[in-house]
Structure 1
Amino acid sequence: MRKIILLSLCVLLSAGLCLTAAPARAGELLAVTETPTPTFTPTSTATPTPTATLVPTSAPPADTPAAPVVLDPAITKRGDPAFAAVGDRVTFTITVVNPNDVPLPAVTVADPLPAQLDFLDGTTTSGSLAYDAATRAVVVVTAPLAARQEVVIVIRTRVNTLGQPPDTTTNIATLSGTSAAGLGLTVQSDAALVQFVPASLPDTGYGPGPRERALLAGAAGLAVAAVLGLSLGWVWRRRRHG
């Protein structure tokens, strides 16, 4: 009896293949079959994506507030009364104002009096007041002006014999100092006008003096205006009801 010998041969090739011999009978040729050995392909490794790093930026510059506008001091002047005769008193009031919310340096106010007016006295709410008889000028040097401060200067005068009608006199005060920009400053006040009139006549029975005549003329003008207004009103009512 013939025995059958089964052979199985696997030869590992250099390429990773295995040669396997199928079972055969004795004396038969072996058929060699290449059985590929599975090859493991490495999977690709994901490359990490770099994450953007936030770099802190500097804060935007803060808005710089605009510098406040600083105005120069203002000066005004008025006289009372506006009509005066020899011997009458005339009072001038000068006002210096700091219109800002910040202080200003001291200022000087000079007020030269006209020849028809003699200086009596004066006052100021800030600084000092002096009268120079040689120049007939009243000079006031104020203290530094506080924010929104108002300085009031009062000058009292009397009309001398040079104040004759129909002359008039104009009086102007001048402020000097340092401007808000640090420059020299000169500002003039508005003009105070005084009209000289004749002195009132004594009560001699011969009629009113110039002042009384002026008052009478003013009263007469008011009376004429009142009569005219009443007349126009009466005509308007007649037309309305007619």
Structure 2
Amino acid sequence: MTRAALLVLADGRFPAGGHAHSGGAEAAVKAGRITGAGSLADFCRGRLHTAGLVSGAVAAAAVLGVAAVELDAAVDARTPSPALRGASRRLGRQLTRAARATWPSVELDVLAREFPKGAHQPVVLGLTARAAGLGPEDAAYCAAYESVSGAASATVRLLSLDPFDATGVLARLSPEMDRVADRAVEAARRVVDEGVDALPAASAPLLEIGAEAHAAWAVRLFAS
């Protein structure tokens, strides 16, 4: 299992729960920061180089065998927003369920026991990639793509944006996804030698602020 497994894992139809989350796009649309394809591209670029980079490095480090408990604590430290921490753990719990059914492994079973409320999603993503026979580069690419694809698909629903335009945004970002995935793997390899402090800590304060505001809404289309 190599590239075909990556396609399954990165497929938006994989039952990992991502369809219920907007990656912060719903809050950004309401705040007027996303109004069309151009501003969606800016938003996705920001997510890619911050949340995408961190998630990619964590996922790649998990594939390389760095302890899940250490990586999970590192994600906690890099996620100031309680709302985002909760969303990440819910996504991690759902991904764990899907991964254990798809690529059963002892490591995933142990993870489910150690984190009954869910480990952070990028940690689970890395262990899922490992169970599927994928490498750190594959996990980093999957994380980078997920960091922007969810926001793009959510914006189609939120703004009735032409899906062709949203897909075009993702396609034009692909060279940057390459670079972010490469940086994430480089960081993950440093983690193996230096510990989790070598993980990137790129921040996106508006994502954190928007997540807290979004969590307080009485009515919303997406969970986060």
TM-score range, shorter chain: under 0.3
TM-score (norm 2): 0.25
Tell me which of the two structures has the higher relative contact order, counting C-alpha pairs closer than 8 angstroms and 6 or more residues apart.
Answer: 2
- Which structure is larger by alpha-carbon Rg, 1 or 2? 1
Pick the structure with more helix per residue.
Answer: 2
